[in-house]
RNA sequence: GGGUCGUUAGCUCAGUUGGCAGAGCAGCUGACUCUUAAUCAGCGGGCCGAAGGUUCGAAUCCUUCACGACCCA
């Protein structure tokens, strides 16, 4: 449905005329390109006299009577085209008056430079390959400073295709996202990991502290949930005999939206038998350096003006030590719930809803420590009550063998030596059920099927999870998760 | 969930104390055969997010709602 609008009517009229002249743009099926815009711009000298062809969207037009300059844009860049009535013939030239900014044009000609030195296709002919019936809000520079383009963030998200046409940095970020994902797969494949796929629809959604999306499967007459993590199914595979597995997939959490949260996001989880969390730290360091190498050719990159160095080894510091460092409150104050609460109150945090020591520690850390963690650091030793799937630390009562890597104040992962003691795991689930009963909707649900798997025996295993979206934010200096997701969640428009 | 801000032409934005709704870009008509997101002359284009209220008079003030951004929980 196209609403009445003068601009659209004009273009519909032009389309009609093109069709009458036997140049129906929508009848075209293919066009042979010899080069991309970038290849023409960088390789003009080697190309020499030969005839080239290129295609793209018209992004600017400067008609000057019987000659016209325009730019076409493809996924690699923009190149100028010069079309002269004498060269292409008067009849063909007249078709140009039916071309609008936004249309797709195929051009054939020779490459050269204009008087002012811009590399340009001097057209011998052209073809309209598709017509844009709605105006494209392509920006324009007037004088030194005035820019016009697509600014409205809501429209940029709802109509991302326009954003991609108009704002080149969006395409750039998404290409980097692809490079990162590819680097991860390549790295893990080279390390001998097997990529697997596990169910998205789950009867029990576990593996993380989050509320799931609920749905209903008619054929089985049963309620299901969209997964909130990959963890419990991948561990079942460790029971089954995989030594090294990973999955990179979409998970869903029924939570609010923010610059760091989208309800669906991409999670990488991997598990490696016979390794512990020190091995996972080693893997994280190597993986991040590998990504950085592929993106920027070294082990440093810039995040919002800060230079981040991924050089190994990264600093390691226990969670409670990091809190002491930044608040002066020592580990001894977190031994009882009462003193932990009073420490929180002393720091000015509301403590009404907190009912576990781990919860209070988490809150204080997030507020006072996390923002300071710019260079890479592994925070280690997390309290048992907020780590229901991590092995207890025998040397450190109340703590688990767990770490989270932080870079540029981002939590970029979560890893631990996995619990493989089914008796311990059952106790943790029971404890979580107690928290759930007191109103914590995010406490981990009991999962008897998973416990049964553990009871068959799982080797000692190191596990690691990495949020891909935040990783991309980190490596592309993106302030919002919406900048790294092509179609971020929005409320539907009213009809 | 709470707070702050935003929503005006296709796009980017002005709009004074409440007094005829504007500009640039693009669009249309014309001129122009090396322009630099051209230049020159002219012309169109609006449910001012929605609904209610105050007022002689509302884009502007008040209320509610919708959508979005940022901050906080």
Strand B closer than 7 A to residue A85 Cβ: yes
Q: Are A75 and A57 in contact (CB under 8 A)?
A: no
Q: Which residues of chain A are in CATH 2.40.50.140 domains?
A: 4-149
Q: A367 preceded by cis ω (within 30°)?
A: no
Which range has the worst mean pLDDT, A183-197, A294-308, A334-348?
Answer: A334-348
Q: Answer yes or no: is pLDDT of A28 > 90.
A: yes
- Mean pLDDT across A125-154: 81
Q: What is the pLDDT at residue A494?
A: 63
| A117 C-beta less than 7 Å away from strand B | yes
Query: Does A495 have pLDDT greater than 60?
Result: no
Give Cα A110 distance to the centre of its chain: 40
Name the CATH superfamily housing domain A4-149.
Nucleic acid-binding proteins (2.40.50.140)
Contact criterion met (CB below 8 Å) for A177 and A472: yes
Helix axes of A277-296 and A468-476: crossing angle, nearest 10 degrees:
40
In 3D space, the residue among A160, A153, A178 whose CA is nearest the CA of residue A257 turns out to be A153
Q: What is the pLDDT of residues A412-432, one digit of tens each?
A: 999 999 999 999 999 999 999
Q: pLDDT tens digit string along A155-188?
A: 999 999 999 999 888 999 999 999 999 999 999 9
Please indicate whether residue A421 or residue A304 has the higher confidence score (pLDDT): A421
In chain A, the percentage of residues whose pLDDT exceeds 70 is: 96
Strand B closer than 7 A to residue A66 Cβ: yes
- In this prediction, residue A134 carries a pLDDT of 92
Q: In angstroms, rounded to a whole number, what is the distance separating the alpha carbons of residues A124 and A87?
A: 6
Q: A319, A323, A291, A185: which is closest to A248 by C-alpha?
A: A185
pLDDT tens for each residue of A245-254: 999 999 999 9
Spanning CA of A52 to C1' of B24, the rounded length in angstroms is: 37
Cβ of A17 near strand B (under 7 Å)? The reply is: no
The spacing between the Cα labelled CA in A12 and the C1' in B28, in angstroms, equals 14
Percent of chain A with pLDDT over 90: 82
pLDDT for residue A312 is more than 50: yes
Query: Where residue A474 falls among pLDDT bands split at 50, 70, 90?
Result: very high
A277-298 as b/e, with b when 16 or more CB fall inside 10 Å? beebbebbbebbbbbbebeeee
Beta-bridge partners for A119: A113
**pLDDT value at residue A149:** 79
What value does the mean pLDDT of chain A take? Answer: 93
Strand B reaches within 7 A of the A5 CB: yes
pLDDT for position A462: 97
Q: How far is the CA of A128 from the C1' of B37 (A)?
A: 21
Residue A2 has pLDDT above 80, yes or no: no
Write down the ipTM of this complex.
0.91
Give the least confident one: A43-47, A267-271, A319-323, A459-463: A43-47
> Residue A1: what pLDDT?
38
Which bases of chain B are under 7 A from a protein CB atom? 1, 6, 10-13, 24-28, 31-39, 44-45, 66-73
The answer for residues whose C-beta is within 8 angstroms of residue A144's C-beta and 6 or more apart is none
Nearest nucleotide from residue A82 CA, by C1' atom: B34
Task: List CB contacts of A268: < 8 A, sequence separation 6 or more.
Answer: A184, A246, A247, A248, A464, A465, A466, A467, A468
pLDDT of residue A145: 46
Q: How far is CA A364 from the centre of its chain?
A: 28
For residue A418, give the DSSP letter.
B
Out of A137-146, A400-409, A426-435, least confident range: A137-146
Collapsing DSSP to helix, strand or coil, A72 comes out as: strand
Lowest mean pLDDT among A92-96, A145-149, A151-155: A145-149
State yes or no: pLDDT of A147 exceeds 80: no
Q: What is the Cα–Cα distance from A459 to A272, expressed in whole angstroms? A: 9
pLDDT at residue A369 in the model: 94
CA distance readout (Å), A428 to A109, A206, A441: 71, 13, 16
From residues 123-152 of A, list those within 7 angstroms of strand B by Cβ. 135, 137-142, 146-152
- Interface residues 148-167 of A with strand B (CB < 7 Å): 148-155, 157
- What residue is closest to B67 (Cα–C1')? A493
Indicate the CATH number of A170-314+376-483 among 1.20.1290.10, 3.40.50.20, 3.40.50.300, 3.30.930.10. Answer: 3.30.930.10
pLDDT beyond 70 at A216: yes
The boundaries of every CATH 3.30.930.10 domain in chain A are 170-314+376-483
Count of CB atoms within 10 A of residue A404's CB? 20
């Amino acid at each position: 449905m196209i609403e009445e609008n003068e601009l659209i009517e004009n273009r519909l009229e032009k389309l009609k005329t093109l069709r009458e002249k036997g140049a129906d743009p929508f009848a075209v099926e293919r066009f042979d390109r010899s080069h991309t815009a970038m290849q023409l711009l960088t390789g003009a000298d080697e190309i020499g006299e030969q005839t080239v062809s290129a295609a793209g969207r018209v992004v600017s037009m400067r008609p000057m009577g019987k000659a016209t300059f325009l730019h076409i844009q493809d996924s690699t860049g923009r190149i100028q085209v010069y079309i002269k009535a004498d060269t292409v013939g008067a009849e063909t030239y007249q078709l140009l008056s039916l071309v609008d900014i936004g249309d797709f044009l195929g051009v054939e000609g020779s490459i050269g430079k204009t008087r002012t030195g811009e590399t340009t296709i001097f057209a011998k002919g052209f073809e309209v390959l598709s017509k844009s019936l709605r105006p494209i809000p392509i920006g324009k520079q007037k004088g030194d400073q005035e820019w016009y383009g697509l600014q409205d963030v809501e429209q940029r998200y709802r109509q991302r295709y326009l954003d991609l046409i108009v704002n080149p940095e969006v395409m750039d970020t998404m290409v980097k996202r692809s490079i990162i994902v590819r680097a991860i797969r390549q790295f893990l494949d080279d390390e001998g990991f097997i990529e697997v796929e596990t169910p998205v629809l789950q009867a029990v959604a576990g593996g993380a502290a989050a509320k799931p999306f609920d749905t209903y499967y008619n054929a089985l007459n049963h309620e299901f949930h969209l997964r909130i993590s990959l963890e419990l199914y991948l561990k079942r595979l460790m029971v089954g005999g995989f030594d090294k597995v990973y999955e990179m997939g979409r998970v869903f959490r029924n939570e609010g939206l923010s610059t760091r949260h989208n309800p669906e996001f991409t999670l990488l989880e991997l598990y490696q038998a016979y390794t512990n969390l020190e091995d996972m730290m080693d893997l994280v360091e190597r993986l991040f350096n590998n990504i950085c190498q592929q993106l920027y050719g070294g082990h440093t990159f810039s995040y919002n003006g800060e230079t981040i160095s991924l050089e190994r080894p990264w600093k390691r510091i226990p969670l409670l030590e990091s809190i002491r460092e930044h608040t002066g409150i020592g580990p001894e104050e977190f031994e009882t719930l009462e003193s932990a609460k009073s420490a929180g109150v002393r720091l000015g945090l509301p403590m009404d809803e907190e009912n576990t020591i781990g919860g209070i520690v988490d809150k204080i850390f997030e507020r006072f420590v996390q923002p300071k963690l710019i260079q890479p650091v592994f925070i280690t030793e997390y309290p048992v009550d907020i780590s229901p799937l991590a092995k207890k630390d025998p040397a450190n009562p109340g703590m688990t063998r767990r770490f989270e890597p932080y870079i540029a104040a981002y939590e970029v992962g979560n890893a631990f030596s996995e619990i493989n003691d089914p008796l311990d795991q059952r106790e943790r689930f029971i404890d979580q059920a107690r928290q759930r009963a007191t109103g914590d909707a995010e406490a981990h649900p009991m999962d008897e099927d998973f416990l049964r798997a553990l009871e068959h025996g799982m080797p000692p295993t190191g596990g690691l999870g990495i949020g891909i979206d935040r990783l991309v934010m980190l490596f592309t200096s993106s302030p919002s998760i919406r900048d790294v997701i092509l179609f971020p969640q929005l409320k539907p428009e009213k009809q």
